[in-house]
Structure 1
Amino acid sequence: MKYIVTINGKKFEVEVERVSNGNGQLEASTDSKKVSSDEISKVITGGIKVSAPMPGKILSVNVQEGQKVKKGDVLFILEAMKMENEIMAPEDGTVEKVLVSKGAQVASGDILAILK
C-alpha cells in the first residue's frame, strides 16, 4: 500500500508491505530502516532540487538513482489539468535521490528528485 506522509510541510510517498509468517498472522518486516526527519532534511538541503511546478499526478519516472542526466533531459511526466507536462533536468548532474514514484499525487513545490 502506498501512502503520502507530510513531514515539516513536505510530502513524501511511502510504501508499506504486509508480510505473513505462514500461519495467518501478519508480522512487520524488520529489514526496513526507520528514517528520521533529520535524515530527510540532510538529503533535501544538499544538491539541486527538482520540484513539481504544479499539482498533479506522476505518469512516469524516467530516471533512477545514480543515473547521469544532462540539462533538458526529461526526468518525469506530470499530468495536470488533463495535460502531460515534462519535468526536465535544470542542469547536468547525477540523480542522487528520486522521491516520487509513478502514480504519486504531488502538490506544487513538492520535491520530486535531487541531483548532485
Structure 2
Amino acid sequence: MTMKKYEVTIEGQVYQVTLKELTAEEAEQMPQTAAPSADPLEKPAAASTGSPVVAPMAGTILSIKVKLGETVKKGDTLCVLEAMKMETPVLAPADGKVASIEVSENQTVESNQQLLAI
C-alpha cells in the first residue's frame, strides 16, 4: 500500500491530503457510484417567462445594472462580468422588460450560465 501526501489549494485555502494508491483488485471492489446530476449548492433554475441572457464566459459578476421589471433597450448594459482581470459588459440582446435576475453581485458564473431573462 502506497500512501502519498499532497497539498491542495482551494479558493486560497491550503489543505493537506493523503492519497492511497489502490491495487487493481481493490479498485474493482470499490462500489461504482453515479455522479450527482447537479451541484448541490447550485440553486434550481427559476421558471422565467422571458428570453435568457447568458454569460459569454466564466467569471465573476461585478455589478448588476438593472432591476427586476425594468424596461431595457437593445444594447443597454445589464450587468458587468469580470474575467481574466477584464470587465465585460453584458448587453441586452433586444428591447424588453427584465423578467428575472438569476445571479447576484460577486457571484462566480460559468460560461453560458443564465444571468437574467428579458
TM bucket (normalised to shorter chain) is 0.5 to 0.7
**After the TM superposition, which segments of 4 or more aligned residues of structure 1 sit over 4 Å from their partners?**
8-14
The aligned amino acid for 1:68 is: T
TM normalised by structure 1 equals: 0.63
What SS does the corresponding residue of 1:64 show, helix, strand or coil?
coil
Structure 1: stretches of 5+ with no match in the other structure: 1-7, 15-36
Corresponding residue number in structure 2 for 1:82: 85
2:88 pairs with 1:110? no
| CA RMSD in angstroms, aligned pairs only | 2.4
Correspondence 1:64-103 to 2 at 5 A: 64-103=67-106
Structure 2: stretches of 5+ with no match in the other structure: 1-36
Deviation at 1:9, TM superposition (A): 5.2
TM normalised by structure 2 equals: 0.62
**How far apart are the structure 2 equivalents of 1:69 and 1:96?**
11
Correspondence 1:14-53 to 2 at 5 A: 40=46, 42-43=47-48, 46-53=49-56
**How far apart are the structure 1 equivalents of 2:90 and 2:79?**
5
Corresponding residue number in structure 1 for 2:59: 56
Structure with the greater alpha carbon radius of gyration: 2
**How far apart are the structure 2 equivalents of 1:11 and 1:50?**
23
Q: Is the 8 A contact 1:56 1:78 kept in 2?
A: yes
